[in-house]
C-alpha cells in the first residue's frame, strides 16, 4: 500500500471523521483537503470533474484512484489489519453493523444533526420539516438497538474494537448536537467512553 | 462453511432476492422460511425473540447465529469466492457500490416501489406522500449515476461480475414497478440483460 492517501473532506462531517479515525488507529498518515460544503465547494466544475461527479464528500484518493462512500474507505484502509476480524462470520457481522450505520443511523442521526445545527430550524424546507419527527424517532430506535446490543458486550463484534465501532462512533458521539439525549442510552455512553480511551484515538476536531 | 443456511425472508423483497441470487451464483443451497410482511409476520413475539429483535427481514441464519442486513449476508456467502475481488482497491470499490446501493438506491427506488405497489397510493400517509417527489428524484439520480458508470464498462468493478452487480441488480431490475422509466438508462438496461444471461442466474420468483 505505497499509494499516497488524500482525504477530500469537510471536517465537521462524521463520515469524513470516521476515515481519519480509522487511519489514526492504524498509525497511517493521510493528507487532507478541506471543502466547505456550506459554500458549495464540492459542486464546483473542478470538483465534479476531478474528484467526484456527484459532488459528495468524503472521497479517499489512493494514488490516482478515487473512492467515495465513507465505510468503503475505512475498509480499504483497514483491510488486513486487526480492525477487521479474520473469522468469516465476525467479518460479515462487522459489515452488518456498518450497513446498519449507513441505513438506520446516519440518515436519521446525522441528517437531524445537520438540519438542526448547520441548516438551522428556520431554514428547513417544508418536506424536511415534515420528516423531522420520523427521523428523530428512527434515530432513537437506532440508538436503542445499539444500547441493547452493548448491554451484554464491550464492542459491537467480538472482543476488540473493529470498523463497526469506529463507523458507529462518528455520529453517535455528536448525536446530542442533533438533540438526541444520550443519557437514555447508558451502554452507548459507556462504549463512547471506551472508544475515546483507546490508544490512537483522535477527536473530531483534530 | 459446514453450517446450515436458512434465509428468513419475504420473496418479493429485493433485499431477500439478492441473497438467494448470490447463493445461486455460488451453487450454494439455502433453505427458505417465508414471512408475509404485509400481515405483520415479522412482528410476532416468536420472530422478535428468535430471529431479529427489530422485526426486519432478511436475516441469514448460519447454524445458530443470525445475520441481518442483506449486503452483509451476501458478503458472508461470497467471502473467498470470485464474486469478491482479491485486489485491495477493487474489494473496497465493490463495497463502495454496495454502500451506494443501501444509501442512495434502496431507500429511494425500493421504497417508492413498495409504496406504489404494496401499500398503494391512496393508503400512503401524508409524510410518505410528501417524500415521494424527492425520493423519485433521488432514485432517478442513482439510476443516472449507474448509467454513467456503465457507459464505459460491463460490470461495476473490474472485468467480471461481483457482489456490487448482484446487490444493485435486485431492485434495479424491478424499478419500473415503482414507476421508474428504465428506457432512460440504456447502459443500465444492457447491464441488466448481461446479468440475466449469466450462468447461475435465477429470477426473483424462483
Say yes or no for a CB contact (<8 Å) between A92 and B103.
Answer: no
Say yes or no for a CB contact (<8 Å) between B92 and A76.
Answer: yes
Say yes or no for a CB contact (<8 Å) between A131 and B127.
Answer: yes
What pLDDT shows up at residue B49? 94
Tell me: the pLDDT tens digits for B133-152? 999 999 999 999 999 999 99
Verify that A61 and A124 share a domain, yes or no: no
A22 within 8 A of A76, measured Cβ to Cβ: no
Verify that B98 and B171 share a domain, yes or no: yes
Q: Is A151 on the interface with B (CB under 8 A)?
A: no
Mean predicted confidence (pLDDT) in B67-92: 98
* Most distant CA pair in chain B, distance: 50
Verify that B113 and B186 share a domain, yes or no: yes
Tell me: the pLDDT tens digits for A170-186? 999 999 999 999 999 99
For residue A1, pLDDT over 60 is answered with no
- Strand B5-9 and strand A5-9: the pairing is unpaired
Question: Cell triple for residue B75?
Answer: 458478503
Query: From the CA of A127, how many Å to the nearest CA of chain B?
Result: 6
Find the helix or strand (DSSP H, E) in which B65 lies.
Answer: strand B65-68
In chain A, the number of structural domains is 2
Verify that A69 and A103 share a domain, yes or no: no
Verify that B69 and B92 share a domain, yes or no: no
Verify that A72 and A114 share a domain, yes or no: no
Q: Of A68, A73, A89, which is closest to B65 when you measure between CB atoms?
A: A89
Verify that A66 and A92 share a domain, yes or no: no
A203 within domain boundaries: no
Of the two residues A20 and A38, the one the predictor is more confident about is A20
pLDDT confidence band for A45 (50 / 70 / 90):
very high
What pLDDT shows up at residue B206? 79
Domain boundary among A40, A60, A78: A78
Verify that B110 and B193 share a domain, yes or no: yes
Verify that B56 and B106 share a domain, yes or no: no
A88 within 8 A of B76, measured Cβ to Cβ: yes
Verify that A19 and A119 share a domain, yes or no: no
Q: Spell out the residues 6+ positions from residue B59 whose beta carbon is closer than 8 angstroms to its own.
A: B7, B8, B51, B52, B66, B67, B68, B73
Query: From the CA of B193, how many Å to the nearest CA of chain A?
Result: 26
B83 within domain boundaries: no
Say yes or no for a CB contact (<8 Å) between A72 and B62.
Answer: no
Domain boundary among A78, A98, A120: A78
A114 within domain boundaries: yes
CATH number at residue B69: 3.40.30.10
Verify that A140 and A166 share a domain, yes or no: yes
A83 within domain boundaries: no
A52 within domain boundaries: yes
Tell me: the pLDDT tens digits for B176-190? 999 999 999 999 999
B149 within domain boundaries: yes
Query: From the CA of A72, how many Å to the nearest CA of chain B?
Result: 5
What pLDDT shows up at residue B151? 98
Find, in chain A, the residue whose alpha carbon is nearest to that of B88: A76
Q: Is B67 on the interface with A (CB under 8 A)?
A: yes
Tell me: the pLDDT tens digits for A55-94? 999 999 999 999 999 999 999 999 999 999 999 999 999 9
pLDDT confidence band for B1 (50 / 70 / 90):
low
For residue B2, pLDDT over 90 is answered with no
Tell me: the pLDDT tens digits for B86-138? 999 999 999 999 999 999 999 999 999 999 998 987 899 988 898 899 999 99
Tell me: the pLDDT tens digits for A116-168? 998 987 899 988 898 899 999 999 999 999 999 999 999 999 999 999 999 99
Domain boundary among B54, B78, B102: B78
Q: Spell out the residues 6+ positions from residue B103 whose beta carbon is closer than 8 angstroms to its own.
A: A69, A102, A103, A106, A107
Say yes or no for a CB contact (<8 Å) between B99 and A99.
Answer: yes
* Cβ within 8 Å of A, B 74-93: 75-76, 79-80, 88-89, 91-93
Tell me: the pLDDT tens digits for A102-127? 999 999 999 999 999 989 878 999 88
Domain that holds residue A181: 88-197
What pLDDT shows up at residue B64? 96
Mean predicted confidence (pLDDT) in B156-160: 98
Find, in chain A, the residue whose alpha carbon is nearest to that of B65: A89
Say yes or no for a CB contact (<8 Å) between B88 and A69.
Answer: no
A204 within domain boundaries: no
Q: Which of B69, B139, B152 to mutate to test binding with chain A, by most A CBs within 10 Å of its CB?
A: B69
CATH number at residue A173: 1.20.1050.10
Verify that B97 and B49 share a domain, yes or no: no
B140 within domain boundaries: yes
B177 within 8 A of B171, measured Cβ to Cβ: no
Amino acid at each position: 500500500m505505497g499509494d499516497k492517501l488524500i482525504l477530500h473532506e469537510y471536517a465537521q462531517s462524521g463520515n469524513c471523521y470516521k476515515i481519519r479515525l480509522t487511519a489514526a488507529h492504524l498509525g497511517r498518515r493521510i493528507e487532507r483537503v478541506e471543502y466547505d460544503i456550506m459554500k458549495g465547494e464540492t459542486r464546483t466544475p473542478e470538483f465534479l470533474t476531478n474528484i467526484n461527479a456527484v459532488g459528495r464528500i468524503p472521497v479517499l484518493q489512493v494514488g490516482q484512484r478515487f473512492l467515495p462512500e465513507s465505510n468503503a474507505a475505512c475498509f480499504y484502509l483497514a483491510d488486513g489489519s486487526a480492525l477487521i476480524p479474520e473469522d468469516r462470520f465476525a467479518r460479515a457481522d462487522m459489515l452488518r453493523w456498518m450497513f446498519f450505520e449507513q441505513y438506520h443511523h446516519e440518515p436519521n442521526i446525522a441528517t437531524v444533526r445537520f438540519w438542526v445545527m448547520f441548516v438551522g430550524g428556520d431554514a428547513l424546507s417544508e418536506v424536511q420539516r415534515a420528516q423531522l419527527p420520523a427521523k428523530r424517532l428512527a434515530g432513537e430506535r437506532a440508538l436503542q438497538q445499539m444500547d441493547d446490543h452493548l448491554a451484554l458486550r464491550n464492542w459491537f463484534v467480538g472482543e476488540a474494537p473493529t470498523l463497526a465501532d469506529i463507523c458507529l462512533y462518528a455520529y453517535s458521539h455528536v448525536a446530542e448536537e442533533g438533540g438526541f439525549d444520550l443519557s437514555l442510552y447508558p451502554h452507548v455512553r459507556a462504549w463512547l467512553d471506551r472508544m475515546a480511551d483507546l490508544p490512537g484515538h483522535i477527536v473530531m476536531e483534530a
